[in-house]
Amino acid sequence: MAYAGKVNKTLVAQLQQAGVNAVGLSAIDGRIATGRRKAVIRGTEDGRPKVLRDDHAGTIGQIDASLVKLLLDAGFLPVLTPPALALDEGRPINVDGDKLALELAIALRAEGLFFFSDTPGLLLDKDNESSLIHEVDASDPEQALTVAKGRMVVKVEAALGAIERGVGRVVFSDARAEHPIRRALDGEGTVVREGRLAPQR
């Protein structure tokens, strides 16, 4: 709920100050994202198995982009955050933000999907920021996944799925850089798309 409240409205205020007519939404609004609450979550704590029940975590089952399209067509920029809505219970559920962005991009048949983090993009060596992989060929998923390490494996799998389902390109880019959105639009970072894998610089 912190995302939907403080974080969302802070971003909207900053965009408004920059002259962008933004509208802050959660995925509950207009039933943009609906799904189911996970009845049980299993994990570990201090090396011991732990089971959580009656948690608010959930999974996305369906995307309805009607409200988002309506706002875009009217000249507004939607700023969307979790939570989503558990239809069977009528309660908010926390869903993964990357998955929400991915599913919405697919529903909108977006030309591009950008993920920002504290690294320049996909790295050949996760401890060496100069080992940036500039392009990943989505038509060769095995080669793409061999270069991914750790948590980036899931992100690369999601990017490959997005390309397969109609998104034009996915860019992993550096949120720490000056003008990060402009840089991502220019293809700075790691660009995932169908095509020949570019040689490394």
Q: Please state the φ and ψ torsions of residue 191, each to the nearest 5 degrees.
A: -100, 125
7 plus 95 within the same structural domain: yes
Instruction: Give 23-75 pLDDT, tens digit per residue.
Output: 999 999 999 999 988 764 555 666 666 655 555 788 899 999 999 999 999 99
CB proximity list for 171: less than 8 A, separation 6 or greater: 112, 113, 114, 115, 121, 184, 187, 189, 190, 191, 192
Share of the chain above pLDDT 70, in %: 88
51 plus 23 within the same structural domain: yes
Q: Say what the pLDDT of residue 200 is.
A: 42
31 plus 70 within the same structural domain: yes
Q: Which two tokens stand for residue 124?
A: 């050949």
58 plus 142 within the same structural domain: no
66 plus 132 within the same structural domain: no
Global pTM value: 0.79
63 plus 48 within the same structural domain: yes
User: What mean pLDDT value characterizes the chain?
Assistant: 86
Show which of 52, 79, 108 is a domain's final residue: 108
Residue 183: CATH number of its domain: 3.40.1160.10
Do the beta carbons of residue 144 and residue 160 sit within 8 Å?
A: yes
Q: How far apart are CA 51 and CA 96, in angstroms?
A: 20
67 plus 159 within the same structural domain: no
Q: What is the span of the domain harbouring residue 149?
A: 110-201
- The stretch 126-130 carries a mean pLDDT of 88
Q: Say what the pLDDT of residue 52 is.
A: 53
